[in-house]
Amino acid sequence: MDNSPLQVVTVPTAPYPDQRPGTSGLRKKVYVFQSRRNYLHNFIQSIFSSIDLRDRQGSTMVVGGDGRFFNQAAIEVIVQMAAANGVGRLVIGHHGIMSTPAISCVIRKYKAIGGIILTASHNPGGPDGDFGIVFDTANGGPAKEAVTNKIFQISRTIEKFALCPGLRVDLTTVGRQMFDLENKFKPFTVEIVDSVESYANLLRNIFDFAALKEFLSGKNHIRIRLDAMHGVVGPYVKRIFCEELGCPANSAINCVPLEDFGGQHPDPNLIHAVDLVDSMRDGQYDFGAAFDGDGDRNMILGKHGFFVSPSDSVAVIAANIFCIPYFQQTGVRGFARSMPTSTALDRVAKATKIELYETPTGTKFFGNLMDAGLLSLCGEESFGTGGDHIREKDGLWAVLAWLSILAARRQSVEDVLREHWLKYGRNYFTRFDYEDVEIDAACEMMEDLEIMMADKAFVKQRFAVGDKIYQVDKADNFEYADPVDGTITRNQGLRIIFSDGSRIIYRLSGTRSEGATVRIYLDSYEREDIFQDTQVMLAPLATIALKISQLHQRTDRSGPSVIT
Ligand code: G16
């Protein structure tokens, strides 16, 4: 065996112009990473170069992914580059797999300077699917825009990267591996960890596992169905729900992580989580949930598939927050939602006199508030909910939060929701996605809309559909001033707010790997008429949204690709 120190080499490269991270990291088609020379290396080097050398040298970093196609190949490269860039220790998930919430947990546990998550989240995987890279910083949350901008700037001028080509890591064995590198005093260490255990341990300190076990597997237990959608969360579901909380084996489906998610779209909504929706229909299960590819998103269903909109989900958790032991200990510092998320949470905040923050779309905006001790619970309409135990959204946490509420209240999901609406009124909410729209048409539509909305006459304008009349009260392009560091983030979506509080929001997605997706969000509050069908209730607002934007004419579409 050759015990000579491993060689570190510097490889010349040429920059790419399109490595700007979006709402959540860099997302591209797998073939882009595979076919463009050094595309992966360039971006990874840009991440390392963005970290001050003094912080990077000898530091600990965490690496893991959702197990999608190209995950393993990318990790092998990242290990070789981390060693060559002076990182002292890499903590990697067993087989290179770790859920996004678990990575956040592990970064915090090991006091790492950050982590690299290999995921395109809810986007399809496989050789024809998407791949993505997210950089988390030391707080365990996605890097702020100042950092991602720096990474992007470096990627535009990069000329070389460092690599340790002879370094081969064994991802299959839990434990420590050491490598001697030339010019390095201490060995480079790789620790392959069982992230399920670290993460489960965190949850044990947040929830009352004994009470949950009784609720899920004791006498008169409820029946639940959890769909991991062949994403990363399967082993976590098995370990926590089946092994520890005693749920029967049929409580967990699609729990084997697959490189292509079984050919499905690992997005937990009524359209893509078909297995769950089908199995809930006949009333066999009292509670259902699905997760996305990397485990940060969740969808909650009640008996017969009763759908809980994510905007309502975070509001219900807020209203019942002391059913969760963690918050009994820490107290509640504040609530936050992304701007397009319905204002249901605002009503709970107002009633409980707890501060409410409205942030731009994307998890990264919650982290600063949490670090400053201002925020305890956050949510996005895009099926993301989380607490300040980590700095990512957390699908399994949301499910345990819901189960804690049901266990304490001894009510069905539907009854909890109905009582919530009776108390606070109901925000009807929906999102229309127009996928694969031509980029130029989408951008022109947004520009023209903004010009129209900026006209003084637009405010106070009235729109009538049937017997509904909406009067514009405010129209703007959402801008956010971070209350902690004052950073201003502009162009976060066009908002039309009507005098009754109803809202129409237009946004372009920032997570597409190619093409454009136009999102229209509709949010309307009703105090009395609270048990109606969402789409029926929002039909007048939808008509107005399409009329104002001329979206169908401009993009040659007759309807949305997906409605959630
Ligand atoms: C979408 C959602 C956002 C979410 C983002 C990242 O962004 O609309 O609410 O924060 O995905 O989600 P994840 O962390 O699950 O990848 P966009 O820009 O496409 O609307």
In the predicted model, what is the mean pLDDT of residues 437-459?
Answer: 93
Task: Say which of 24, 99, 104, 121 is annotated catalytic.
Answer: 121
Residue nearest to atom 6 of ligand 1 (CA): 24
Percent of the chain with pLDDT over 90: 93
Each residue of 224-239: pLDDT tens digit?
A: 999 999 999 999 999 9
**378 CA from centroid of ligand 1 (Å):** 14
What is the pLDDT, as a whole number, of residue 204?
97
* 382 ligand 1 Cβ < 6 A: yes
Rounded CA-CA distance 550/559 in Å is: 12
> Ligand 1 pocket, 338 CB below 6 A?
yes
- In this prediction, residues 216-225 reach a mean pLDDT of 94
Banded pLDDT at 23 (limits 50, 70, 90): confident
3-state SS, one letter per residue, for 432-472? EEEEEECHHHHHHHHHHHHHHHHCHHHCCCEEEECCEEEEE
CA 383–ligand 1 middle distance (angstroms): 9
Span 200-207, average pLDDT? 97
Phi, psi of 132 (to 5 degrees): -155, 160
Domains of the chain by residue range: 9-195, 199-424, 426-563
The superfamily in CATH containing domain 199-424 is Alpha-D-Glucose-1,6-Bisphosphate, subunit A, domain 3 (3.40.120.10)
The answer, yes or no, to whether any atom of ligand 1 lies below 6 A from the CB of 363, is yes
Q: How far is CA 215 from CA 187, 223, 248, 351, 520, in A?
A: 49, 9, 13, 30, 39
Q: Is the CB of 130 under 6 A from ligand 1?
A: no
- Is the beta carbon of 298 within 6 A of some atom in ligand 1? no
User: What's the average model confidence in pLDDT over 445-458?
Assistant: 93
Asked about 121 being catalytic, the answer comes back as yes
Most confidently predicted of 180-189, 319-328, 552-561? 319-328
What is the end-to-end Cα distance of the chain in Å, rounded? 58
pLDDT digits (tens, 9 = 90+) for 159-192: 999 999 999 999 999 999 999 998 777 899 999 9
> In this model, does residue 3 exceed pLDDT 80?
no
| Mutate-to-test residue for ligand 1 from 511, 519, 521, highest number of ligand atoms within 8 A of CB | 511
**Tens digit of pLDDT for each residue in 278-310?**
999 999 999 999 999 999 999 999 999 999 999
190 three-class SS: strand
Nearest CA to ligand 1 atom 15: 121
Asked if residues 38 and 12 have their Cβ atoms less than 8 Å apart, the reply is: no
Name the pLDDT band for 515 (thresholds 50, 70, 90): confident
Query: Which of 261, 71, 88, 106 has its CA nearest to residue 179?
Result: 88
Residue 474 pairs in a beta bridge with 497
| Average pLDDT for 248-261 | 95
Pick the CATH number of 426-563 from 3.40.50.1820, 3.40.50.150, 3.30.310.50, 2.60.200.30: 3.30.310.50
Average pLDDT score, the chain: 95
Contact 394 CB / ligand 1 (< 6 Å):
no
Q: Are the folds of 9-195 and 199-424 the same?
A: yes
Task: Check pLDDT > 50 for residue 83.
Answer: yes
Residue 1: what pLDDT? 47
Which of 382, 429, 431 for mutating ligand 1's site (highest number of atoms within 8 Å of CB)?
382
Please give the CATH number for the structural domain made up of 9-195: 3.40.120.10
Find out whether the beta carbon of 388 lies less than 6 Å from any atom of ligand 1: no
The pLDDT of residue 510 is above 90: no
Contact 349, 335 (CB under 8 A): yes
What digits encode the pLDDT tens for the residues 412-425?
999 999 999 999 99
Question: Residue 424 corresponds to which tokens in the numbers above?
Answer: 């606070």
Ligand 1 nearest atom to the CA of residue 362, by list position? 10
Q: Which residues contact 457 (CB under 8 A, 6 or more apart)?
A: none
Is 385 a pocket residue for ligand 1 (Cβ < 6 Å)?
Answer: no
pLDDT category at 2 given cuts 50, 70, 90 is low
Q: Is 120 helix (H, G, I), strand (E, B) or coil?
A: coil
Among 27, 292, 294, 361, residue to substitute to test ligand 1 (most atoms within 8 Å of Cβ): 361
Q: What length is written for the chain?
A: 564
- Which atom of ligand 1 is found nearest the CA of 382? 9
The C-alpha atoms of residue 273 and residue 301 are separated, in whole angstroms, by 11
User: Taking the model in full, what pTM does it have?
Assistant: 0.94
Q: State whether the beta carbon of 23 lies less than 6 angstroms from ligand 1.
A: yes
Residue 511's pLDDT band (boundaries 50, 70, 90)?
confident
